Amino acid sequence: MPKKGKIFVISGPSGAGKSTIVKELLKLAPDLVLSISATSRKPRAGEVDGKDYFFLTRSEFERKVKENYFIEWAEVHGNLYGTPKDFVNENLQNGRSVILEIDVQGALKVKETFEDAVLIFIEPPDFEELERRLKSRSTDDEETINLRLQNAIYEMALAKYYNYRIVNKDLKKTIEEIIKIIREEEKK
Ligand code: ADP
Ligand code: 5GP
């Protein structure tokens, strides 16, 4: 019987650097698998269905909620997002650790179901830098950016429930720190 994998949840305010970190993390630690979420949000330029997200209409998403398809789901910045159950469970059974890049509400729900899930919160160095990163990404309009900045205050207040908090200043150092946490937690 292979050792069971662990869930590692990565959260943090929009623009803190989660997607960038996860992308690099998977290159450096290819034994980890990333759970692809479903969302009712419209794809951004360059986003691919089944790779970045499973893009669903709101009604398709709501049907899947009724079918108990998700481990957790939440409304974030006005859209629905959820983690498909089967993919996560199959990988855990096969002894592989799974990364979930999800919001704070989802993270707390995951922790209720999977007690040994490890929650990692990514913080920006400060609010001004968060705003700068959101603007430099050029993926969202001003209204969307403002909504995400407002939500950052609420999200930061929930960071205290996480097992680890990391300030993403130097990207390379952040990734090294996360890999160290994952390897130590996998041994427990
Ligand atoms: P999130 O997934 O948390 O919303 P992204 O990964 O899209 O954030 O990052 C937002 C922007 O900040 C991107 O343009 C990214 O290149 C940049 N970024 C990420 N990490 C850092 C860092 N440590 N220093 C400077 N810029 C960063
Ligand atoms: P974005 O629209 O920038 O891709 O993501 C917006 C927010 O939704 C981020 O905080 C991201 O972590 C969160 N998110 C992405 N997928 C999921 C999911 O499956 N469940 C939950 N609860 N949040 C998610």
List, for residues 121-134, the tens digit of each pLDDT value. 999 999 999 999 99
Q: What angle do CA 122, 127, 131 make, to 5 degrees?
A: 95
pLDDT at 138: 79
Average pLDDT over all residues of the chain: 94
pLDDT recorded at residue 29: 94
CA of 65 to the centre of ligand 2 (A): 16
pLDDT at 20 over 50: yes
% of the chain with per-residue pLDDT over 90: 90
| pLDDT above 90 (res 3) | no
Rg (CA), the chain: 16
pLDDT at 77: 85
Distance, in Å, from the CA atom of 136 to the CA atom of 70, rounded to the nearest integer, reads: 33
* pLDDT (tens digit per residue) in 105-118: 999 999 999 999 99
CA of 154 to the centre of ligand 1 (A): 20
The yes-or-no verdict on residue 139 having pLDDT over 90 is no
> What single letter denotes the amino acid at residue 56?
L
Domain 7-183 maps to which CATH number in 3.40.50.300, 3.30.1520.10, 3.40.50.980, 2.40.50.100? 3.40.50.300
Contacts of 109 (CB under 8 A, 6+ apart): 71, 72, 74
Query: Ligand 2 site: residues with CB under 6 angstroms?
Result: 11, 14, 37, 41, 72, 74, 76-77, 81-83, 101-103, 105-106
Can you name the residues that pair with 123 across neighbouring β-strands?
A: 167
Q: At what angle do helices 127-137 and 142-157 cross, to 10 degrees?
A: 140
pLDDT above 70 covers a percentage of the chain that reads 98
Q: Give the mean model confidence (pLDDT) for residues 44-50.
A: 93
Lowest mean pLDDT among 21-30, 87-96, 137-146: 137-146
Please state, in angstroms and rounded to a whole number, the distance separating the CA atoms of residues 143 and 151.
Answer: 12
Among protein residues, the one with the nearest Cα to ligand 2's atom 16 is 102
- Residue 137: per-residue pLDDT: 85
Token pair belonging to 147: 């909504």
User: Is residue 138 in contact with ligand 1, taking CB distance under 6 Å?
Assistant: no
Is the pLDDT confidence value at 1 over 60? Answer: no
Q: Which ligand is nearest to the CA of 21?
A: 1
Average the pLDDT over 154-166 and give the result.
95
How far is Cα of residue 105 from the mean position of the Cα atoms in its chain? 11
- What are the residue boundaries of the structural domains of the chain, listed by start? 7-183
Virtual torsion, Cα 89, 73, 15, 147, nearest 10 deg: 180
* Per-residue pLDDT, 4: 74
Alpha carbons within 13 A on the beta-carbon side of 30: 1
Distance 70 CA to ligand 2 centre (A): 14
pLDDT at 83: 98
Q: What is the number of residues in the chain?
A: 188
